[in-house]
Amino acid sequence: MSAPDAEVAVLSASDLATRYRSRSLAPTEVVDALLARIARLDGTINAWITIAAEPARAAARASTDRHLRGRPLGPLDGVPVGLKDNCDTAGVRTTCGSRILGDRVPDRDAVVARRLRDAGAVLLGKTNMLEFAYGNVHPDRGQCNNPWDPSRTAGGSSSGSAAAVAAGMVPLAVGTDTGGSVRIPAAYCGIVGLKPTFGRVSHQGVFPLSWSIDHVGPIGRTVDDVATLLDVMATEGGGGGPRVPAAAAAGTLAGVRAGVLRQHLGDDLRSGVRAAFERALAVFRDAGAVLEDVQLPTWEHAEAAHILVLAPEASQVHAGWLRTRPQDYAPDTLLQLQLGALLPASAYLSAQRFRNRMAAEAAAALGRVDVLLSPTVGFVAPASDPPLGSELGQLEGLRTGAHCLLGLPAVSVPCGTAEDGLPAALQVAGGWGRDHQVLGVAAAFLRGCGWVARLPPELR
């Protein structure tokens, strides 16, 4: 028997675990319901590249057996998860949203996929993404649309992961973030996305965009779910910190020293997003947090340093295909890759060295405050994903690139609605290895403003 998909769609991973324990719902029922929901909605959303229906059903049956025997493997046993299509999955096509790898079927799992399977999670399929996570939709894959307004983008590059979670097709998903690619689509889709501390989640088996700033991160509808997924994904010794979910549940804003990045409140910020951010600051203030303005002068150059690191590294990854298969890239991806191949080493090395200055400045600030607050993006979801080099593309990543350069943990959480009734988002960042603290503050903020995870009205 299948549960009605709309009923299952609203359940968090934590809700599912509770129902599995009480045997009021089985993983097989949930997987069938979500597959039916995807079949019903994905023609509009386009969140998935590959649905692994039969492997998912088999994994759900095995999980159901474990639950019936009272021996689940952990909090994610039987919980469906979507995986961005740049994470290798043994026996399941992994395209990176590209034509070049359109038929590639890896024979090994990425570490993150393996850890999820070992925890009993059900890998439901591979989610749509911008081509090679580099800012542009490949026409073979098409744009992933925003569940709150399908005439707009879900954001990128982890577009499918965010949209699938926001549309209730899956409670959790994995994304990657090299300049904002978990946090930006999470912001546009009104959900929670974490870029963990650099190295906390293994990159092994994840196709690189820019290896010195790539991060793998969890996406969900609640902070607790994101914390639980991080806990499963995280590599031993990869960033430290106590077990995350407990810390998230215990988070409080009272006494938190929160630095407000005033330089991220510039003229580009749309009035609705600014108002939502100011309301978020009021929640912190009312709950007893201590707010202070923070200025990080080197971060004014973060956007330049970011592209000067990213572009040559990405072009190096693609050096072979740039010579042999240039016609198979989307036009803007090809342009970006060619540009990076032409940059002199001195420019790349200047940016790499500059990261040290940025890190020193951030470390000093994070000695004075616990977290740094800013809007995640200055505007709501646009119609389509702006190319990296365009004015809108530069503004889109203005508040998220620095955290990748420095490896700081940063989470995007909803903070109300802004222009056209679409979601606005707050970014909470913290010191290296303090992922648990960042999540704890984010959870406390959401409790403080009475936010309840919900699906877009048309998709309920």
Partner 1 sequence: MARWAEIEETEVHAEAAGGPTVAEVLEVAHAAGLTLDRARAEALRPLLQGLLAAAAALPMGAAAEAGWLGDPYDAARGPHR
Annotated active-site residue 157? The verdict is: yes
Crossing angle for the helix pair 435-448 and 223-233, nearest 10 degrees?
Answer: 160
Number of residues this chain uses to bind partner 1 (CB under 8 A): 49
CA distance 356 to 249: 34
Q: Where are the alpha helices (DSSP H) in 27-158?
A: 27-45, 53-68, 111-118
Per the CB < 8 A criterion, the answer to whether 398 and 292 are in contact is: no
CA distance 411 to 187: 10
- Give the x/- contact pattern for partner 1 in 296-315, rule: CB under 8 A: -xx--x--xx-xx--x----
Contacting range for partner 1; rule: CB under 8 A; set: 5-13, 121-129, 176-184, 401-409: 401-409
392 binds partner 1 (CB under 8 A): no
Q: Which is nearer to partner 1, 37 or 434 (CB)?
A: 434
431 binds partner 1 (CB under 8 A): yes
Annotated active-site residue 12? The verdict is: no
Element (H, E) at 404: helix 401-406
Say what the alpha-carbon torsion angle 223, 427, 174, 383 is, to the nearest 10 degrees: 120
SS3 416: strand
442 binds partner 1 (CB under 8 A): no
Q: What is the DSSP letter of 234?
A: B
423 binds partner 1 (CB under 8 A): no
Q: Is the bond preceding 14 in cis, omega lying within 30 degrees of 0?
A: no
341 binds partner 1 (CB under 8 A): yes
Closest distance to partner 1 from the beta carbon of 297 (Å):
8
Pairing of strands 257-261, 215-220: unpaired
Q: Which is nearer to partner 1, 254 or 342 (CB)?
A: 342
Closest distance to partner 1 from the beta carbon of 347 (Å):
4
**Which of 108, 243, 357, 368: binder of partner 1 (CB under 8 A)?**
357
Q: Which is nearer to partner 1, 273 or 388 (CB)?
A: 388
CA distance 131 to 119: 29
**Which of 252, 338, 384, 417: binder of partner 1 (CB under 8 A)?**
338
Q: Residues interacting with partner 1, by CB under 8 A?
A: 197-199, 212-213, 240, 297-298, 301, 304-305, 307-308, 311, 319, 322-323, 326, 335, 338-339, 341-344, 346-347, 349-360, 363, 389, 404-408, 431-433
Q: Which residues are catalytic?
A: 84, 157, 181
